[in-house]
Amino acid sequence: MQRTNSERLHSEALEHIVGGVNSPSRSYKAVGGGAPIVMERARVPTSGMWTAINILII
């Protein structure tokens, strides 16, 4: 999976927010995580439980 867009957006966020995210997930990097995955759209097939647009998934 290519994460170039996620990495670019995370680098930009680092200029404005400590850790690049505004949540306890800032510690994600300390446990070996890289840039958070950014998704424009996601859908859970058949369950109908949620549909997300323009969200940040970690």
CA distance 23 to 20: 9
Q: Residue 48's pLDDT is what? A: 54
Domain map of the chain by residue range?
4-57
Which DSSP letter does residue 45 get? T
CA 53 vs CA 32, 36, 39: distances in Å: 27, 16, 8
Tell me which residue has tokens 């323009």: 54
Average pLDDT on 31-52 reads 65
> Is 37 a residue whose pLDDT tops 80?
no
CA distance 21 to 14: 8
The dihedral sign for the CA sequence 4, 10, 14, 15: positive
Q: Residue 49's pLDDT is what? A: 53
